[in-house]
């Protein structure tokens, strides 16, 4: 195994990514990016490793990776991906998504594009507006897809100021029974996710009363321990609770289902089909 080189950088590192080599190139990776988190001031940085073990002009070893440049980043870096050879996409805990451009001539980074409210819990400008962390990003030039804690999946293009498309519009836990989750989406779906422990044994897919239900199960052990009654079904690692029933609440797909709310046995949702759907028998 080659010698392992370490450099102490005085900040917590949340993400590291190698810069991709040009297609067809035989060279090995030499440059990588890092993002930091949980610091008073966070950064996105570019580093070069040079030739490991070979002495440079002053006689020191070049294996000690060198900082090429860095730039301040607002919030924690939740994800980091190279968009191409010169651009890096960073996802922030503030809900912002930023494209940074590397200038190799003077070794600096600058902001090339930024979507400051890519992820949020309510509409920008409303009194209850609250940003939601952007938790993941994937790039396929010219497109960028992001996902956040607001339940949204956004499709961006580097040359567009707004999202090209947004998917999974709202996500609501039942206010008094959090084992039940409700989601609506741009594709016209309205789903009820049931992670309660009393989900019955049924076939994997069936139709009943105009509803379609699917069961997700990753284990066959259905013996529950007493202490797990205090643990959320969504967080439990016990196979007995790793079983979810997903029910489509609409009889057929419609245009985008934009909003929903649930209280007790009642649910209401609104759609782009200019229709409002209401049920008062969620659990019947």
Token output for 261: 């709310």
Q: Write the pLDDT tens digit of every residue in 266-275.
A: 888 888 888 8
Q: Burial letters for 140-159: b for 16+ Cβ neighbours within 10 Å, e otherwise? A: eeeebbbbbbbbbbbebebe
Same domain membership, residue 176 and residue 46: no
Q: What is the CATH number of the domain that holds 44?
A: 2.130.10.10
Confidence of residue 174 (pLDDT cuts 50, 70, 90): confident
Answer whether residue 261 shows pLDDT above 80. Answer: yes
Same domain membership, residue 155 and residue 45: yes
Answer whether residue 62 shows pLDDT above 70. Answer: no
Q: Which residue has the tokens 């997903």?
A: 246
Task: State the pLDDT at residue 136.
Answer: 92
Token output for 1: 């195994």
Same domain membership, residue 258 and residue 271: yes
Same domain membership, residue 250 and residue 144: no
- The verdict on residue 217 lying in a domain is no
- The verdict on residue 214 lying in a domain is no
pTM: 0.65
Percentage of residues in the chain with pLDDT exceeding 70? 74
Same domain membership, residue 257 and residue 140: no
Which domain, by its residues, includes 264?
169-196+241-283
Q: Write the pLDDT tens digit of every residue in 32-54.
A: 999 999 999 999 999 998 654 45
Answer whether residue 243 shows pLDDT above 90. Answer: no
More confident residue, 124 or 102: 102
Please tell me the total count of domains within the chain: 2
Answer whether residue 215 shows pLDDT above 70. Answer: no
Same domain membership, residue 142 and residue 88: yes
Percentage of residues in the chain with pLDDT exceeding 90? 36
- The verdict on residue 143 lying in a domain is yes
Same domain membership, residue 250 and residue 130: no
Tally of CB atoms within 10 A around 216: 12
């Amino acid at each position: 195994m080659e010698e392992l080189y370490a450099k102490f950088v005085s900040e917590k590192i949340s993400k590291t990514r190698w810069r991709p080599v040009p297609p067809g190139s035989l060279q090995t990776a030499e440059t990588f990016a890092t993002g930091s988190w949980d610091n008073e001031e966070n950064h996105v940085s570019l580093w070069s490793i040079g030739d490991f073990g070979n002495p440079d002009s002053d006689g020191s070893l070049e294996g000690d990776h060198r900082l090429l440049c860095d730039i301040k980043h607002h919030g924690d870096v939740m994800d980091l991906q190279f968009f191409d050879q010169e651009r890096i996409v960073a996802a922030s805990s503030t809900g912002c998504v930023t494209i940074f451009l590397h200038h190799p001539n003077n070794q600096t980074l600058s902001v090339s594009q930024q979507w400051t409210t890519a992820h949020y819990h309510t509409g920008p400008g409303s009194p209850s507006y609250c940003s939601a962390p952007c938790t993941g990003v994937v790039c396929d030039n010219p497109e960028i897809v992001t996902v956040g804690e607001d339940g949204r999946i956004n499709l961006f293009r580097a040359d567009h100021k707004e999202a090209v498309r947004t998917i999974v519009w709202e996500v609501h836990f039942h206010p008094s029974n959090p084992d039940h989750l409700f989601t609506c989406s741009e594709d016209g779906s309205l789903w009820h996710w049931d992670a309660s422990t009393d989900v019955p044994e049924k076939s994997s897919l069936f139709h009943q009363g105009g509803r379609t239900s699917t069961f997700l199960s990753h284990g066959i052990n259905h013996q529950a321990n007493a202490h797990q009654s205090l643990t959320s079904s969504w967080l439990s690692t016990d196979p007995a609770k790793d079983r979810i029933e997903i029910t489509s609440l609409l009889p057929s797909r419609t245009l985008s289902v934009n909003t929903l709310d649930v209280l007790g046995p009642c649910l209401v949702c609104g759609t782009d089909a200019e229709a409002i759907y209401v049920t008062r028998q969620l659990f019947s």
